[in-house]
């Protein structure tokens, strides 16, 4: 597996990471524990060194799963987790207001995450969503103190806007930003990518396959379980999916020409954008994991990228990328 550096902070990881959320959160029924552990360890065996989780996934159970699965490999992998939502530690329910990045809460989450993950130090600690009630300087300062105490190695942000990134970075260097980015959602290209490049910050796109849409396995007739978050996402409404299939057809055409799968083309396109971009596709199936990892061997030429870019620009995509309540929490 190829390696990449996330920005200029010395954080080196595999060119593709594994987003672990979907193993037991947001995409329907969770997998059983043994299946989840086997999938994560299968990723390690195939060269993946970068694993993404959060206290909010489950809540809490995803961190426990990741911690147990990676226990034999703690010296060779990088584990990222997140703070920032206001979750009752007894019930796991989200409290009214949604976010909580008060310094004392960040410390509480850090201690709880370290315990669940079985770690002495969190490799990468993201603020999951910007908290409008807490100055970002206070958030960055708290993580800076945790780094000084040896409880965290690197500071990250998620779904933060360019000015928030700059303000945080001035207090404590930001190693990576995690936000949605794919051929299906290219919002970060306007302000975010130039800011990250200027400041030497790595970028970790989540939903790099458009929550599965860019794999070509979803069409207008696909139905989602009530426990699958896509059931409430506007861009997954049947009429929006029908319109957006034009993008999938484009990806499939390129895949046929390159002897690859649509998922591999979507990931290869992201990898080709910047050398400091590390996508974190998720899956519950080993066959899909192997398919995704094969994207590192798909080389898109400048001509390929130009053709994709010109064709994609002519497609009018329909529907917001998140439900209204979740979109409000995004700083983008």
By annotation, the residues acting in catalysis are 57
Q: Take residue 133 and report the two structure tokens written for it.
A: 């009630």
Which residue matches tokens 């130039």?
Answer: 194
Structure tokens at 39: 């999938």
Rounded to an integer, what distance in angstroms lies between the CA atom of residue 37 and that of residue 52?
A: 14
204 phi, psi to nearest 5 deg: -120, 95
Distance CA 34, CA 3 (A): 28
Q: Is 35 helix (H, G, I), strand (E, B) or coil?
A: helix
- Angle at 184 (CA atoms; ends 326, 60), nearest 5 degrees: 40
Yes or no: say if 71 and 37 are a contact pair by the CB < 8 Å rule: no
Question: What are the helix and strand counts (H, E) for the chain?
Answer: 11, 11
**What is the C-alpha end-to-end distance of the chain, expressed in Å?**
32
Q: Read off the DSSP letter of residue 301.
A: P
Distance between CA atoms of residues 196 and 276, nearest Å? 9
Looking at beta carbons, which pairs linking 327-330 to residues 24 or more positions away fall under 8 Å? Answer: 329/98, 329/99, 329/129, 329/130, 329/159, 330/129, 330/159
Q: Report residue 49 as tokens.
A: 């060194």
Containing 327, the helix (H) or strand (E) segment is helix 324-328
Host H or E run for residue 309: helix 302-313
Give the other-Cβ count within 10 Å of 268's Cβ.
23
């Amino acid at each position: 597996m190829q390696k990449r550096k996330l920005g200029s902070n010395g954080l080196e990881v595999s060119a593709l990471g594994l987003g672990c959320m979907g193993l037991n959160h947001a995409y329907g029924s969770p997998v059983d524990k043994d299946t989840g552990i086997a999938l994560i360890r299968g990723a390690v065996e195939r060269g993946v060194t970068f694993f993404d989780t959060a206290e909010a996934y489950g809540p809490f159970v995803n961190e426990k799963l990741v911690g147990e699965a990676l226990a034999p490999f703690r010296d060779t992998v990088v584990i990222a987790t997140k703070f920032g939502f206001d979750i009752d530690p007894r019930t796991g329910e989200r409290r009214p207001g949604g976010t909580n990045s008060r310094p004392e809460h960040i410390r509480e989450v850090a201690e709880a995450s370290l315990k669940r993950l079985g770690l002495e130090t969190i490799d990468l600690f993201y603020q999951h969503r910007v908290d409008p009630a807490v100055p970002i300087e206070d958030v960055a300062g708290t993580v800076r103190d945790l780094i000084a105490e040896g409880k965290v190695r690197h500071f990250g942000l998620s779904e933060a806007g360019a000015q928030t990134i700059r303000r945080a970075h001035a207090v404590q260097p930001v190693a990576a930003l995690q936000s949605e980015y794919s051929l299906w959602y290219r919002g970060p290209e306007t302000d975010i990518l130039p800011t990250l490049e200027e400041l030497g910050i790595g970028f970790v796109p989540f939903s790099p396959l458009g929550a599965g849409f860019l794999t070509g396995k979803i069409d207008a007739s696909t139905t989602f379980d009530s426990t699958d978050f896509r059931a409430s996402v506007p861009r997954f409404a049947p009429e929006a999916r029908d319109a957006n299939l034009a993008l999938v057809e484009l990806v499939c055409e390129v895949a046929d020409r390159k002897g690859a799968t649509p998922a591999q083309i979507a990931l290869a396109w992201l990898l080709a954008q910047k050398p400091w971009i590390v996508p974190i596709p998720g899956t519950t199936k080993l066959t899909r994991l192997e398919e995704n990892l094969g994207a590192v061997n798909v080389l898109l030429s400048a001509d390929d990228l130009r053709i994709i870019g010109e064709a994609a620009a002519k497609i009018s995509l329909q529907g917001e990328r998140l439900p209204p309540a979740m979109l409000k929490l995004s700083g983008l």
